[in-house]
Chain A
């Protein structure tokens, strides 16, 4: 028996929004420690790693580890039927082939049940090595989303270069070039609005805008985003979901073509 309950289903809705553009379907691994998801997009360029810790739920019970393969578009349809302040309960029997979502309105006067068929999905678990990153940037998530959106109008690739002066985002395309430079903030009054750079050595990497724009769909989950980069390893974009866990995106860099 698996049961997980969240008083506000808004978070869950946001999580879905944050992954459904990259993944069509995904396997949620439920265990005592929480709900986990790890999946690559179809072209194997990016990876989503989601962790929702069991102690972040208002009620959580998982007798046996189960894996639930879900179609995210269908799941999203179901969550569209719920209000943000509804309480959501996710239930499944061990070895079940359906999952139940129950939404209770705030005043408890309305209860809706949705059953969804589970899917059998091929799963590939990737081992992600622990990396000491050359630079770790923390910045307001909305700012990062804005930069990705603005610059993606100019070109397909975004160059992120991080030095001790700050972070430079740049792109070039048919109409010309665009550059945005962000400096570390000195004022620490509002942590949420600050930009901090933890730099071991300068790094410059190129990424496909398209994927970054998918990642920034997670912006509503967290006021801050953390970008971790090292030469020749994938970028990690992390959003902390307050009290519940995190969502991390990994993105393989674009590399310069060697002579074939």
Chain B
């Protein structure tokens, strides 16, 4: 999932591109949420006593719980979410998907073994690895969203790519996902940890693409090449080339073609039939729906509809659901706070001149912190 080690690389070489702030500072912002990513998170994280929440006939409801409460949390913070669902996976992802299927099969085996041995910690670990977002999860989530009055978009292909074009066209402010390849697809702003539970107290990470490109001295195409070299979902990368080496190579040679010409291919053999050109093409011109044809409308929630859908068989508490709906209705009344940047123009922004040497001084420290930062990554 995403781009291998990109977060870590950015924290090292472009710390200025990553800002941390609280969720409440995003009031009034429209945000495209990568639905598959957050459904997956919910399936993993929303549990009670280690087991997924289920309806009377054992169907999982964790994703619905997540969608319901976390969306309310976004709304209460004044954020207007639009969920973007994955369409069909691009053909090039089959390799990656195959690998994931293999891992899942392994996890299944390990799970069976653990179950035999009766090792609960292991069982828990491997059941989580087996989690996948199914079509039914998606459909149920969509149904709940429309009942809640929240818009969603069906991407023709990758959701991150669809989010990115929506950000680029100004339809929404940012993409909310944990997946760094939203940046590779050209999403100008990426928000991480947006749909995390409040209890985790994770600050929102705001990553700006323009600042990344500026700090790395790359243009978007070179950045795409860098991401492919780091390792993306669509094709293999060259063994032995890590983040540091990748950035040096791209800076020096500007494109993968040139990199290939200049590196010692016996030492760093590129994968057979390396389809980096196709991967690049996919990042540059992904299959997306024209953002101009998308109409985003946040409407009144259908209280009875939500109650009917969630309570009863799905075993949600009616009282809590109704309270939740009340919260949604409350966020819809009243006026919205505007921002000063809307009225006044930024004349100059000075990232204090001493900053550069300072960063060098602190770099050893920073690296220490980075290990912690990386933990937000999904184990996939």
Contacts and interface: CB of A to CB of B under 8 A. Distances in A.
Given A42-B21, A121-B352, A122-B352, A250 B346 contact: no
Given A44-B341, A260-B296, A122 B336 contact: no
B352 A43 contact: no
B340 A40 contact: yes
A254 B340 contact: no
Interface residues of A, number: 36
B338 A43 contact: no
B372 interface: no
A64 to B, nearest CB: 13
A69 B298 contact: no
B344 A126 contact: yes
Please classify the interface of chain B as helix (H, G, I), strand (E, B), loop, or mixed, using the class held by over half of its residues: mixed
A254 B347 contact: no
B38 to A, nearest CB: 22
Select the residue from A125, A129, A208 with max chain B CB neighbours within 10 A.
A125
A46 B341 CA distance: 10
A251 to B, nearest CB: 8
B343 A43 contact: no
Contacts of A44: 25, 339-341
A256 interface: yes
B340 A260 contact: no
A183 interface: no
B350 interface: yes
Contact of B340 (A27, A97, A126): A126
Contacts of A233: 343
Interface string A46-84: 110000000000000000000101000000000000000
Given A120-B354, A120-B355, A123-B352, A45 B347 contact: no
A120 B352 contact: yes
A170 interface: no
Contact of B298 (A120, A123, A254, A260): A260
A154 B337 CA distance: 18
14 contacts: A42-B25, A43-B24, A67-B352, A97-B354, A122-B16, A123-B351, A126-B346, A127-B344, A234-B343, A252-B337, A256-B335, A257-B335, A259-B297, A260-B80
Interface of B: 16, 21-22, 24-25, 27, 80, 296-298, 332, 334-352, 354-355, 358
